[in-house]
C-alpha cells in the first residue's frame, strides 16, 4: 500500500539535509547579493521596479535593496527581515547584519558537513556571541560627559557612515549638517522633526541645513511676501464650507430668495470664522486643509499671510518649531498659544518658491535642503543622510562609541578565538567558526576596495595581538592604519545590534530541519 499524500497537491515538503541545504543556499545567496555594497568602496545596485513606470533606484543601502527584492526562499526572507528590523531600530548596518548572518551560515554549513549536530553549533555560536559582546563592551569609549569630545565623536561616526554612501565626496559637509541637525533634537529620536526637502539642480555641495523651517508652499496672491515678527496660528480646520455636522441635517428651501439668504448666511458664517481667527492678533495663518478663495481674500484684505494645504507632518513640525499649538476652534483667542518667528519670507531654491520661517523660538526642528543633479542622486542622498541621522540620534541616547574599519570585528574575533581555545568539546569548532565569520567582514571590506584582503587581514590580526591596538583597514591608502588617528568611529549600539540579530537569525535558520511550503494562493486569472 503506497503512502498516501498527506499534503495538498501543490504543497511541497523538504526534509533533513535537503531542507538545510535549501535554507543555507538561499541565505548565502542573499548575503552574496549585498556583499559587494559593503564598505567605503562598495558598489551600488540598480533596482528596476516591475510596476508601472519601471522606476529605477540606484542605491547601496542594504535594507533598500532587500526590501525591493521578490524572494521565494523562506530562509532568505528571514535575512530580509533582520535587515528591515536593523533599519527600523538603528538605521545603519543593514548590509553588515546580512553579510554576517550569511557568513555564519556558510561556516555552519561546513560544520554540518563534517557531522556536527546543528544544536551543538548553536550552543557554540551563542557562547561566542556573548563573548564577542563582552569584548566590545570592554573596549567602548563613552564621551558623554565631555561635550566637546562627544561632538567630535558624532562627527566621526557621521563621516564613517557617510563614507560608504554617495555623499562620500562631501562627507565633511554632510557630517556637519547631520550632527547639527541631530543636536538640535536635544536627545529626542523623533527624526520626523528633521525635514528633508529635495530640489533637483545645483550640486550636492549646495545642500544646506536651515536653522529655521522651510515650507514647500506658495504664498497666496496679494498677500504680504515678507513678515517680520510674525505671530503664527497653526490650524487644522475646514476653510472651504464649514459643514453642519449634526446628522441628518439638510437644506431644503422653497424659493430662490431663500437660497440666496442661506448662501448669505453661510458667507456670514465664514466671515465670522475669519474674524475670530483674526481676533487672535496674528499676521500669519497656516492651515492643514484647503482655504477657499473667499476666506483667502478676507485674509489678504486683513494683511494676513494665509498658507493652505500644508501636509500633516509639515503642520506638526511647524507647531514644534514655532511653539504654537495646532488649533481647530477659535472661540477663546486668549488661551490659544500662538507660534512666533522673527521673519517669514519667500525664498527661491532653484526655480521653486518656498516659504522660509527664520528666527524661530523652539528650534527643535530644522530643515535640510538637498540639491543634486538628478532625482536618483537626491533619493540616494536622502537615504544616506537618513542613515546618518538615525545612527547619530541613537548615539545621542547611547553614547558608547567604537572604532570602525573592521576594528570591532577583529577585537571580537580575537576574544572569540581565545574562548575557542579554552572550551572543551565539539562546541569549540563552532566558536572558532564564529570568529572566522567575524573576520569575513574586514575581508569583504578589503576585497570590495580591490585590496589584497588575505595580506591585509593577516597583518591586522598580527597588529591586534598587541595590547590596545587601534588597527583597522585604511581603505584610502590600502594599508593597515590607526583608526583613532584616521577618525573612523562607529556607534556601539549599531555593532551590538548587528552581532545579536545576525546570530539570532543564523540560529533560527540552523534549527530548521524541515521546510513545508503551502500551495501558493491562486490569483484569479484575469483575461
**Measured at the alpha carbon of residue 487, what is the angle toward residues 486 and 489, in degrees to the nearest 5?**
125
| Residue 191 CB neighbours (<10 A) | 17
- Residue among 376 and 429 whose Cβ is closer to another protein: 429
- Fill in the per-residue mask, 259 to 298: x = in contact with another protein (CB under 8 A), - = not in contact: --xx-xxx--x-----------------------------
Please tell me which residue in 37, 57, 61, 474 is annotated as part of the active site. 61
Among 46, 145, 221, 250, indicate the residue that binds another protein (CB under 8 A). 250
Shortest distance in whole angstroms from residue 247 CB to another protein = 4
User: How many angstroms separate the CA atoms of 305 and 285, rounded?
Assistant: 6
- Residue among 199 and 427 whose Cβ is closer to another protein: 427
Which cell goes with 414? 580575537
Verify whether residue 95 is a known catalytic residue: yes
User: How many angstroms separate the CA atoms of 131 and 30, rounded?
Assistant: 27
Please tell me which residue in 94, 160, 161, 444 is annotated as part of the active site. 94
Q: Sheet containing 489-491: which strands, arranged edge to edge? A: 141-142, 400-403, 489-491
The interface with another protein within residues 33-52 (CB under 8 A) comprises none
Region near another protein per CB under 8 A, out of 41-49, 256-264, 303-311, 473-481: 256-264
Please tell me which residue in 387, 417, 447, 474 is annotated as part of the active site. 387
Which cell goes with 209? 541645513
Region near another protein per CB under 8 A, out of 45-53, 81-89, 135-143, 398-406: 81-89
The interface with another protein within residues 370-429 (CB under 8 A) comprises 390, 393-394
User: How many angstroms separate the CA atoms of 59 and 219, rounded?
Assistant: 36
User: How many angstroms separate the CA atoms of 91 and 97, rounded?
Assistant: 12
DSSP class of 371 = E
Shortest distance in whole angstroms from residue 384 CB to another protein = 14
- Give bridge partners of residue 201 from the DSSP assignment: 372
The interface with another protein within residues 461-490 (CB under 8 A) comprises none
Please tell me which residue in 95, 160, 367, 503 is annotated as part of the active site. 95
Q: Are 438 and 409 in contact (CB under 8 A)?
A: yes
Go through 219-235 and write b for each residue having 16 or more CB atoms within 10 A of its CB, e for each that does not: bbeebbeebeebbbbbb
Verify whether residue 387 is a known catalytic residue: yes
- Residue 259, CB-side half-sphere exposure with 13 Å CA sphere: 3
Shortest distance in whole angstroms from residue 13 CB to another protein = 8
User: How many angstroms separate the CA atoms of 45 and 189, rounded?
Assistant: 30
Shortest distance in whole angstroms from residue 169 CB to another protein = 25
The helix (H) or strand (E) run that includes residue 310 is: none
Q: Are 122 and 510 in contact (CB under 8 A)?
A: yes
Shortest distance in whole angstroms from residue 76 CB to another protein = 9
DSSP conformation letters of 449-472 = TT--HHHHHHHHHHHHTSTT--EE
User: How many angstroms separate the CA atoms of 489 and 408, rounded?
Assistant: 10
Among 69, 137, 253, 347, indicate the residue that binds another protein (CB under 8 A). 253
Among 128, 307, 327, 438, indicate the residue that binds another protein (CB under 8 A). 327
Go through 382-421 and write b for each residue having 16 or more CB atoms within 10 A of its CB, e for each that does not: bbbbbbbbbbbbbbbebbbbbbbbbbbbbbbbbbbbebbe
User: How many angstroms separate the CA atoms of 125 and 112, rounded?
Assistant: 13
Among 520, 525, 526, 527, indicate the residue that binds another protein (CB under 8 A). 520
Shortest distance in whole angstroms from residue 434 CB to another protein = 15
The interface with another protein within residues 335-364 (CB under 8 A) comprises 335-336
Residue 515 touches another protein, criterion: CB under 8 A: yes
Shortest distance in whole angstroms from residue 226 CB to another protein = 28
Shortest distance in whole angstroms from residue 3 CB to another protein = 5
User: How many angstroms separate the CA atoms of 155 and 461, rounded?
Assistant: 28
The interface with another protein within residues 98-137 (CB under 8 A) comprises 117-119, 126
Shortest distance in whole angstroms from residue 414 CB to another protein = 23
The interface with another protein within residues 5-24 (CB under 8 A) comprises 5-9, 11, 13, 19, 23
Verify whether residue 61 is a known catalytic residue: yes
Q: Are 33 and 80 in contact (CB under 8 A)?
A: no
Among 110, 149, 375, 511, indicate the residue that binds another protein (CB under 8 A). 511
- Residue among 242 and 455 whose Cβ is closer to another protein: 242
- Residue among 27 and 349 whose Cβ is closer to another protein: 27
The interface with another protein within residues 184-203 (CB under 8 A) comprises 189-192
Among 52, 245, 421, 466, indicate the residue that binds another protein (CB under 8 A). 245
| Site size with another protein, rule: CB under 8 A | 86
Among 18, 48, 55, 88, indicate the residue that binds another protein (CB under 8 A). 88
Give the catalytic positions in this structure: 61, 94-95, 387
Amino acid at each position: 500500500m503506497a503512502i498516501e499524500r498527506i499534503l495538498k497537491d501543490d504543497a511541497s515538503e523538504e526534509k533533513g539535509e535537503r531542507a538545510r541545504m535549501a535554507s543555507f543556499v538561499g541565505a548565502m545567496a542573499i548575503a552574496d547579493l549585498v556583499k559587494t555594497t559593503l564598505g567605503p568602496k562598495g558598489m551600488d545596485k540598480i533596482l528596476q521596479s516591475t510596476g508601472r513606470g519601471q522606476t529605477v533606484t540606484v542605491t547601496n543601502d542594504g535594507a533598500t535593496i532587500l526590501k525591493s527584492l521578490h524572494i521565494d526562499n523562506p530562509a532568505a526572507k528571514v535575512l530580509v527581515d533582520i535587515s528591515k528590523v536593523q533599519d527600523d531600530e538603528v538605521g545603519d548596518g543593514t548590509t553588515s547584519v546580512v553579510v554576517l548572518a550569511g557568513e555564519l551560515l556558510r561556516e555552519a554549513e561546513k560544520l554540518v558537513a563534517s557531522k556536527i549536530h546543528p544544536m551543538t553549533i548553536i550552543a557554540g555560536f551563542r557562547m561566542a556571541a556573548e563573548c564577542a559582546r563582552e569584548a566590545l563592551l570592554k573596549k567602548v569609549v563613552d564621551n558623554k560627559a565631555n561635550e566637546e569630545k562627544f561632538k567630535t565623536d558624532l562627527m566621526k561616526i557621521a563621516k564613517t557612515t557617510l563614507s560608504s554612501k554617495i555623499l562620500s565626496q562631501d562627507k565633511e559637509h554632510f557630517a556637519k549638517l547631520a550632527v547639527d541637525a541631530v543636536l538640535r533634537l536635544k536627545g529626542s529620536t523623533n527624526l520626523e522633526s528633521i525635514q528633508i526637502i529635495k530640489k533637483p539642480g545645483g550640486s550636492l555641495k549646495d545642500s544646506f541645513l536651515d536653522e529655521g523651517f522651510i515650507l514647500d508652499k506658495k504664498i497666496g496672491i496679494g498677500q504680504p511676501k515678507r513678515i517680520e515678527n510674525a505671530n503664527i496660528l497653526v490650524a487644522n480646520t475646514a476653510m472651504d464650507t464649514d459643514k453642519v455636522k449634526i446628522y441628518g441635517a439638510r437644506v431644503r428651501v422653497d424659493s430662490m430668495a431663500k437660497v440666496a439668504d442661506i448662501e448669505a448666511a453661510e458667507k456670514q458664517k465664514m466671515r465670522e470664522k475669519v474674524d475670530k481667527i483674526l481676533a487672535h492678533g496674528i499676521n500669519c495663518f497656516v492651515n492643514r486643509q484647503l482655504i477657499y478663495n473667499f476666506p483667502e481674500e478676507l485674509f489678504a484684505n486683513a494683511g494676513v499671510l494665509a498658507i493652505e494645504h500644508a501636509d500633516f507632518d509639515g503642520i506638526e513640525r511647524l507647531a514644534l518649531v514655532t511653539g504654537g499649538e495646532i488649533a481647530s476652534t477659535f472661540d477663546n483667542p486668549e488661551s490659544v498659544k500662538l507660534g512666533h518667528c522673527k521673519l517669514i519670507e519667500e525664498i527661491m531654491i532653484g526655480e521653486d518658491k518656498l516659504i522660509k520661517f527664520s528666527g524661530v523660538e523652539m528650534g527643535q526642528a530644522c530643515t535640510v535642503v538637498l540639491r543634486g543633479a538628478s532625482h536618483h542622486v537626491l533619493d540616494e542622498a536622502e537615504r544616506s543622510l537618513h542613515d546618518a541621522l538615525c545612527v547619530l540620534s541613537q548615539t545621542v541616547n547611547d553614547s558608547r562609541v567604537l572604532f570602525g574599519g573592521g576594528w570591532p570585528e577583529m577585537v571580537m574575533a580575537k576574544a572569540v578565538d581565545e574562548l575557542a581555545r579554552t572550551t572543551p568539546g565539539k562546541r569549540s569548532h563552532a566558536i572558532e567558526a564564529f570568529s572566522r565569520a567575524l573576520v569575513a567582514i574586514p575581508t569583504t571590506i578589503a576585497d570590495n576596495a580591490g585590496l589584497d584582503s588575505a595580506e591585509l587581514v593577516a597583518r591586522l590580526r598580527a597588529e591586534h595581538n598587541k595590547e590596545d591596538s587601534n588597527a583597522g583597514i585604511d581603505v584610502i591608502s590600502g594599508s593597515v592604519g590607526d583608526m583613532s588617528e584616521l577618525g573612523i568611529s562607529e556607534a556601539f549600539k549599531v555593532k551590538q545590534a548587528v552581532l545579536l540579530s545576525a546570530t539570532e537569525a543564523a540560529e533560527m535558520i540552523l534549527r530548521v530541519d524541515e521546510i513545508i511550503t503551502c500551495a501558493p494562493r491562486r490569483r484569479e486569472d484575469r483575461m
